[in-house]
Structure 1
Amino acid sequence: MTLPIARRALLSRSLFAIVFVAIGLGSAWADGLSSLEGFMRSAQSGRADFTQTVTAPSRAGEAARSKTSEGTFEFQRPNRFRFVYTKPFAQTLVADGKTLWMYDMDLNQVTARQQSQVLGSTPAALLASAPNLQALEKDFTLQPEPDQDGLQWVSATPKSRDGQLQRVRVGFKNDQLAALDILDSFGQRSVLSFRNLQSNPALPASTFDFKPPAGADVIRQ
């Protein structure tokens, strides 16, 4: 069984937006790049609820199309995270450090990808693995932005033109991550809003374990 083309494209393009959340949860500071550097050092794990709105670019004669989803996520550095989508359809995305698993409950289908190949080619992986701001600036142009919608913003633009990300904006409020605003190379925009954030909770190792459900169709790529 394979995903319908339109849905598979949406999930694939949304993956890069999702991956960013694995590196962007917890307490932060509102004083620009030095705050981002401190956050990168201090936030080693996290947990939150999220709402994600993905908007496809408008086409000739058609209005832009948006899809909204909700769920929960957790992460543990390095390179481990778990997303559980609950609305509008159930889906689970787990990175266990070696394999990236995506389970679609409606289709009873699991897609497994080698994590180093999937994440290693994206700017999100560089941001997740960078130990400090100086290392991050080798691959991204970082720029504080004016306050907007009650949030303090920092933008990260990849220096390489070969990736699937145009730009990500990170928004903070009251020393907490509040939003990610991501634009990919397809012109698709993904905005994630967070609530009930917890920084550095104790997460059991089993949080990032995944075993395909019995009877599920497993596709390895």
Structure 2
Amino acid sequence: MKKLLVPLALALAAAAAHADGLQALEQFVKNARTGRADFTQVVTSPPREGQAARSKTSTGSFEFARPSRFRFDYRKPFQQTLVADGTTLWLYDADLNQVTARRQQSVLGSTPAALIAAAPDLEALRKDFELKAAPDRDGLQWVTATPRSREGQLTSVRVGFRGEALSVLEILDSFGQKSVMSFDKLQLNVPIPAGTFNFTVPKGADVLRQ
């Protein structure tokens, strides 16, 4: 009997220690109050008739301070900045010298950024997303988030964690376009200067308010 109990106890302990994607997301939202990372984003458009699927790769950096403040700086191949300051969501396109400003509360809820940076807790996320644990893949624990609102272009988001560390976002939109954002050099609960999330409209830039 003892020979049977020891392997069983070890198996149960291993299962308890192995968190699924939903548990990893809950711990990340609960414990990660600030963070920064580098990212690589690959956007793949669905193939057109007679053509192969096309992909575009971008790189940059990401910072956040929960709740509701984050910053994405795209550096290559084109410079773009996306900043949420708690009130307004700013998008700056350097090539166009154009800024788009939107009321943050009205556009942020059902977005991938809400999953990883903006929501204060899991219950807040559940108001905008249906959350389900997904099978492990590529050494990561996954959770699938489906927007409850069908009005936007977002179809689903899959978030991959390595333990409690955010690793990958897979985003699918209603046009069949897939965006995979991989995070590297993630640092959590580090000091982030308050001015990081301030946005000043560049001189001469056109500003579109929506």
Same fold (TM over 0.5): yes
Q: Deviation above 6 Å: which 4+ runs of structure 1?
A: none
Aligned residue pairs total: 192
Question: Which of these residues, 169, 176, 186, is aligned with residue 158 of structure 2?
Answer: 169
After superposition, residues 178-217 of structure 1 pair within 5 angstroms as 178-217=167-206
Give TM-score, length-normalised by structure 1: 0.78
Gaps of 5+ in 2: 1-16
Structure 2 CA distance for partners of 1:123 and 1:49, relative to 1, 3 Å:
closer
Amino acid at match of 2:197: F
Identity %: 64
Amino acid at match of 2:19: D
Distance 2:133 2:118 in 1: 21
Gaps of 5+ in 1: 1-28
| Corresponding position of 2:104 | 115
Amino acid at match of 2:200: K
| Corresponding position of 1:31 | 19
Distance 1:144 1:94 in 2: 29
| Corresponding position of 1:18 | none
Report if the CA contact (8 A) 1:70-1:86 is conserved: yes
Give TM-score, length-normalised by structure 2: 0.81
| Corresponding position of 2:3 | none
Measured on the aligned residues, the alpha-carbon RMSD in Å equals 2.2
Distance 1:74 1:110 in 2: 20
Secondary structure of residue in 2 paired with 1:215? coil
Structure 2 CA distance for partners of 1:30 and 1:202, relative to 1, 3 Å:
farther
Query: C-alpha offsets along residues 56-80 of structure 1, whole Å, 9 cap, x if unaligned?
Result: 1222222211111000010111211
Amino acid at match of 2:151: D
Q: Which of structures 1 and 2 has the bigger CA Rg?
A: 2
Distance 2:181 2:113 in 1: 18
Report if the CA contact (8 A) 1:85-1:91 is conserved: yes
Structure 2 CA distance for partners of 1:112 and 1:134, relative to 1, 3 Å:
closer
